[in-house]
Copies of this chain bind each other. A is one copy, B any other.
Amino acid sequence: MAEKSMVNVEFNPGGQSVALQKGGLITEAMLTAGVLLPLDCGGKGTCGRCLVQVEGAVSPPNDAEERLLDQSRLEQGFRLACQTRALGDLRVVIPDTAETADSSWRIDLGDLSATQTNSPVITSVDCRVQAPTLEDPRADLRRVLEAVTPPAAGEGEGELWGDPATATQITRMAREKDWNLRVYKRGSEVVGVAGPGDAALGVAVDLGSTKIAAYLIDLEKGEVLNSRGRLNPQVAFGADVVTRLQRAIHNPDDRRQLTSLVRRALGDLVVELSSSVGVEPSCITEMSLVGNTAMTHLLLGLPVEQLGAPPFVASLDQAIDLKAREIGLNLAPGAYLYLPPLVGGFVGADNVAMIMGADLDLPGPCRLGLDIGTNTEVVLTAPGSEHPLLIASAPSGPTFEGAHLSSGMRAMAGAVSRVQLDKGRLVWSTIDGGKPAGICGSGIIDAVAEMARGGIINAQGHLDQSLPQVKVDERSIRYILVPGEQSATGKDIVVTQADISQVQLAKGAINAAAFTLLHLAGLEPFDISEIVLAGSFGSNFDVENARSIGLIPDAPAAIYRQVGNAAGKGAQQMLNNQEARIRAEAIPSMARYLELASEPLFNKLFARSLAFSKNRS
Contact = CB atoms under 8 A, between A and B. Distances in A.
Interface of A: 132-134, 136-142, 156-157, 161-164, 167-168, 170-172, 175, 300-303, 305-306, 310-318, 320, 322, 326, 342, 344-345, 585-586, 589, 593, 595, 598
A170 B315 contact: yes
A140 B314 contact: yes
13 contacts: A137-B312, A137-B314, A137-B344, A138-B344, A140-B315, A157-B585, A163-B322, A164-B302, A167-B315, A168-B302, A168-B315, A171-B306, A171-B315
A142 B142 CA distance: 37
B137 A315 contact: no
A139 B293 CA distance: 11
B320 A140 contact: no
Q: Which of A132, A170, A585 has the most CB of B within 10 A?
A: A132
A313 B137 contact: yes
Given A132-B311, A138-B317, A168-B315, 20 more contacts: A132-B313, A133-B311, A134-B311, A137-B344, A137-B593, A138-B313, A138-B344, A139-B313, A139-B317, A140-B314, A141-B315, A141-B316, A142-B318, A156-B586, A157-B318, A157-B585, A164-B315, A167-B315, A167-B316, A172-B303
Contact of A301 (B164, B170, B300): B164
A172 B313 CA distance: 12
Contacts of A138: 313, 317, 344
Nearest to A310: B134
A585 B310 CA distance: 50
A142 B589 CA distance: 13
Given A157-B585, A168-B302, A322-B164, A139 B315 contact: yes
Contacts of A301: 164, 168
Contacts of A313: 132, 137-140
A303 B141 CA distance: 12
Contacts of A315: 139-141, 164, 167-168, 170-171
A135 to B, nearest CB: 8
A80 to B, nearest CB: 34
A313 B312 CA distance: 53
A428 to B, nearest CB: 44
Contacts of A132: 311, 313
Contacts of A344: 137-139
Q: Which of A136, A162, A326 has the most CB of B within 10 A?
A: A326
A67 B332 CA distance: 52
A498 to B, nearest CB: 33
A90 to B, nearest CB: 22
Contacts of A134: 310-311, 595, 598
Q: Which of A137, A140, A175 has the most CB of B within 10 A?
A: A137
Contacts of A326: 326
Nearest to A307: B171
A318 to B, nearest CB: 6
B312 A164 contact: no
A171 B303 contact: yes
A303 B326 CA distance: 20
Contact of A137 (B157, B161, B322, B345): B345
7 cross-chain pairs, A with B, having the tightest CB-CB distances, nearest first: A139-B317, A167-B316, A139-B314, A171-B315, A171-B303, A132-B313, A134-B311
Contacts of A172: 303
A306 B301 CA distance: 37
A223 B598 CA distance: 54
Q: Which of A139, A163, A310, A344 has the most CB of B within 10 A?
A: A139
Nearest to A312: B137
Q: Which of A157, A312, A585 has the most CB of B within 10 A?
A: A157
B137 A320 contact: no
Contacts of A595: 134
A167 B312 CA distance: 15
Given A132-B311, A133-B311, A317-B138, A302 B163 contact: no
A302 B167 contact: yes
Nearest to A162: B316
Contacts of A175: 306
A272 to B, nearest CB: 26
Q: Which of A300, A313, A317, A345 has the most CB of B within 10 A?
A: A313
Nearest to A325: B326
Contacts of A139: 313-318, 342, 344
A317 B168 contact: no
A424 to B, nearest CB: 51
A171 B310 CA distance: 14
B157 A303 contact: no
Contacts of A303: 168, 171-172
Given A163-B322, A301-B168, A595-B134, A140 B316 contact: yes
A287 to B, nearest CB: 15
A191 to B, nearest CB: 15
Contacts of A342: 139
A137 B311 contact: yes
Contacts of A167: 302, 315-316
Nearest to A166: B316
Contacts of A300: 164
A316 B142 CA distance: 7
A320 B163 contact: yes
